[in-house]
Amino acid sequence: MAYLIKSAKIWNGNSFSKTPQDILIEDGLISKIDTVIKHSAAEVIRLKNLHVSPSWFEPLVSFGEPGFEERETIENGALTALKSGFSGIGLVPKSKPVNDHKSAIDFIKKAFKHDLKIYPLGAITIKHNGKDLADLFDMQKAGAVAFYDTKKALQNANAFKVALQYAKGFNGQILAYPEQNDLAGKAQVHEDENSIMLGLKSASHLTETVQLRRDLDLLAYTGAKVHIPYISCATSVEIIREAKLKGLKFTCSTSLNNLYFDTSALAEFDSKYKIKPPLRSFNDKTSLVEGVKDGSIDFVTSDHEPVNLELKQLEFENSETGSIGLESFYPALNKLFGNDLAINQLLKNWEIYGLKQPKISINEMAELTLFNPDEENIFSIEQLKSTCKNSIFLGEHLKGKVYGSFVNNKYYEN
């Protein structure tokens, strides 16, 4: 089967080609790239203001299966990701049972047949209990790319130290979620001048920064491989900068939700804005944006976390945290940072787990994302392919349209 992508501006390194090119794909391989290509038997893909880049990666995705199939199945989640421009995801161990042993990783790797590359993460502790280490080495041998107690920090400092030392022995990577439980308590929102007026239980940035400093100290002591997800406040950005200037080796990421919104969105008590980590102040949001631009923050994730609507569409204090993000990731990132930085971030995400980024060149497998960076629209529920519809971006004016992805000699049209 042959496909001919017509008149596309191609992402090549750090910029798009100024002259539109045709791309001929035969049996899944890119066989020719030229200004004009003719092929009488090829299926032609011709789209408005078409741009093409290597396919994107989202490193922190929650689906639900096994155990929470009502939130999202792996089959539909994979299709949603492919149609949203992603050929690969990191699947976090938020399931029932928790992915805390080799057979759970085997299940994710082998039980499903689809074209999305799914890289499972294993839990750090058994059942996310924060105390008893899971068998990290066996899970890595089975295919786990990293270890993470999903949005839970190891409160016991010695347990975290031992996990780092254990993982270091086989070059395993630990994800250290920065939250101090005693300080967080039962807080619903971040503490600032906006949230205080709402009458909801709140907590300051100390819930994050106290834990972050502790984890960085233990990282410095052990020399392990660490990624810190979901940095969400200005003080954390400064802590990260200082640690990196001192030569400490680690990576960190922030959620697009915290880059785009702040506590001013909470005024109407709309539960779609209830996320974890919580929305923080305008100053925090601004500092995060600058941190991404100057490279202090290495990666941006969508924080794709499906929640049943019966658990989400409740009074704010009773609602579950979480928002889906695959479908809105590119148009929101593009509006916030512009196309060049947006594409760079989406491609850079492959590096979190040391994975090989796809390439657009002759004789390479065609693993492509097709999109229009200039189309503006109001993000609506009709654009959601996920089973759950709990998107924080519903009603937002975004920029950019994903046409789909081309993977394994198939075009997944959005």
**Average pLDDT over the chain, rounded to an integer:** 96
Asked if 6 and 114 sit in the same domain, the reply is no
| CATH number of residue 399's parent domain | 2.30.40.10
Tell how strand 225-228 and strand 251-255 pair up: parallel
Asked if 139 and 255 sit in the same domain, the reply is yes
Helices and strands per DSSP (H, E), number in the chain: 13, 18
pTM, 2 dp: 0.96
Give pLDDT tens digits for 244-264: 999 999 999 999 999 999 999
Q: Is the pLDDT of residue 111 over 80?
A: no
Reported as type and span, the H/E element at residue 342 is helix 339-348
Structure-token match 């850079």, residue found: 348
Q: Is the pLDDT of residue 14 over 80?
A: no
Asked if 337 and 231 sit in the same domain, the reply is yes
Give pLDDT tens digits for 115-127: 999 999 999 999 9
Question: Which of 331, 353, 375 is a domain's end point?
Answer: 353
> For the chain, what percent of residues have pLDDT higher than 90?
93
Which residue, among 55, 83, 87, 117, has the nearest Cα to 403 in the 3D structure? 83
End-to-end C-alpha distance for the chain, whole angstroms: 21
- What pLDDT does residue 317 have? 94
Asked if 190 and 224 sit in the same domain, the reply is yes
- What pLDDT does residue 159 have? 96
- What pLDDT does residue 124 have? 98
Asked if 7 and 132 sit in the same domain, the reply is no
Contact 329, 260 (CB under 8 A): no
Q: Is the pLDDT of residue 173 over 90?
A: yes
DSSP secondary structure of 388-400: S--BTTTT-EEEE
- The number of domains in the chain is 2
The Cα 260–Cα 255 span in angstroms is 9
Question: Which of 335, 353, 371 is a domain's end point?
Answer: 353
The length of the chain in residues reads: 414
Give pLDDT tens digits for 36-52: 999 999 999 999 999 99
Task: Count the neighbouring beta carbons within 10 Å of the beta carbon of residue 293.
Answer: 11
Beta bridge partners of 252: 228
Question: Which of 353, 369, 391 is a domain's end point?
Answer: 353
CA dihedral 204, 209, 210, 212 (to 10 degrees): 150
Q: Is the pLDDT of residue 194 over 90?
A: no
Asked if 35 and 87 sit in the same domain, the reply is no
Give pLDDT tens digits for 316-362: 999 999 999 999 999 999 999 999 999 999 999 999 999 999 999 99
Asked if 234 and 334 sit in the same domain, the reply is yes
Asked if 148 and 192 sit in the same domain, the reply is yes
Give pLDDT tens digits for 79-91: 999 999 999 999 9
Asked if 319 and 365 sit in the same domain, the reply is no
| CATH number of residue 250's parent domain | 3.20.20.140
Give pLDDT tens digits for 277-311: 999 999 999 999 999 999 999 999 999 999 999 99
Asked if 18 and 71 sit in the same domain, the reply is no
E strand segments, 65-188: 86-91, 117-120, 173-175
Q: Which residues contact 254 (CB under 8 A, 6 or more apart)?
A: 230, 231, 232, 288, 291, 292, 297, 299, 300, 301
Q: Is the pLDDT of residue 105 over 90?
A: yes
- What pLDDT does residue 240 have? 98
Band of the pLDDT at 15, cuts 50, 70, 90?
confident
Range of the domain at 34: 2-51+361-413
Asked if 196 and 339 sit in the same domain, the reply is yes
Contact 331, 394 (CB under 8 A): no
Asked if 106 and 250 sit in the same domain, the reply is yes
